[in-house]
Structure formats: C-alpha cells, structure tokens
Chains A and B, each alone.
Chain A
C-alpha cells in the first residue's frame, strides 16, 4: 500500500461539501506559491499557483488564498468529489534565487460518498 503521507494531517469531508486545506509557510521572502495534488501511487500534480502580490486566485472549482501577514496559504475546493481524495501540499519558492522549492508535508483529504 501507499506509505507516503501515512501520518499526515487528515481532512474528511462529505461529497458535495466545500473543503479547505491550510498551509503555513516558513519563509517571508517567498514570492511564489503552488498547490500540488498527489494521488495514491502517483507523482504530484500542479493544481493552482499564486504570486505574493495577490491575495486570491481562482481556478476551476479551486481557490487559493494568501495571507502574507501570518504566512498562511489555503486551498478551497468547491463541491468536493470522490476524485478529489488525495494528499495536497503547498510549495513555496523564495525570491532568493536558485532552485530551492520548499514543499510542505501535506494534508490527506478523504471524501465520503
């Protein structure tokens, strides 16, 4: 079975409800943030991104909110579906140059039918 993310924080929601997944980032110099979705047995997949000069960005059924004051990022999924069940993690890219993307440990989302 899948051992990645075995001890991750877990969010369980009912199908059709909205989901909110939170992430506290570490580097105040980060100016670019990405949310990834990782399904069991697969590699991470890009969902949505946001730059630090924005507070909110919307995609299809997903919205990312950025609060730079408290270094907090959230991912909102509207009308959550069983196919949304996965591990979600945020990534921050500091504006210090180089290739250091800092990945969070992730949150496992369970969608109950």
Chain B
C-alpha cells in the first residue's frame, strides 16, 4: 500500500490564482481530512469527509472547497489564492473517524507559497 499520497509537493502561486491539491489513499478508508500547518502552530482542520459524496467544514474552511466523488480521492480547491493561504497542507485518512480510537494516516504534505 502507498498509503496517503499528495501532489504536488511544492507550489508557488500568485495572488488570485487557483489550484487543486490532490490527495489519494489506497487503504479503503471512509474518513478523509485536510489540514493546514503554519510555522510554530498545530494542525488546523480545513474540511473533512465521512464517505464518498459527503463533506463538511472544519475549523478554517474559508477560501477552500472540497469534493469527494470516490472513496480514494479527496481534492482540495483554492479558488482565489491569498498570501494568508501560504502554509503546508496535509491530507489524512482514517477508518473509523476521529471520535474513535482510530489513528489518522497522513500524507507527506504540499508546501504552498502565495506571493
């Protein structure tokens, strides 16, 4: 199993540009998450999904959108990039959800810079 994979690894955007961060997991997990990690800060939940076709907002959803058309894929969309979205983005998945004893498996991250 490859686990959770993310592309791209690095990206530089200009203000106002849009992009999609890709996330794929091959563990047949129902639950998937998008986090951002700013320097010196803990992970902040952007969006999550409990299964294909179901998504919900996390703690910091503004400026982002997600979709979950399949169990495997959970792309994160930035429509109008802003400097405040400069961060490292992590995708994660789990089989039972954060409210259980199940652990989350994280991807390697995407480092995004908005200039």
Contacts and interface: CB of A to CB of B under 8 A. Distances in A.
A105 B4 CA distance: 23
B40 A7 contact: yes
Interface string B70-111: 000000000000000000101010000111010111111100
A106 B42 contact: yes
B106 A44 contact: yes
21 contacts: A5-B39, A6-B40, A34-B103, A41-B108, A42-B109, A43-B4, A44-B90, A44-B106, A45-B106, A46-B104, A49-B101, A89-B42, A98-B99, A99-B31, A99-B45, A99-B56, A101-B45, A101-B98, A102-B42, A104-B42, A105-B42
A86 interface: no
B60 interface: no
Nearest to A89: B42
Nearest to A48: B103
B20 to A, nearest CB: 19
A79 interface: no
B39 A43 contact: no
A61 B43 CA distance: 26
A78 B81 CA distance: 45
Interface string A1-45: 001111110000000000000000000000010100000011111
A39 B111 CA distance: 15
Contact of A93 (B31, B35, B90, B98): B98
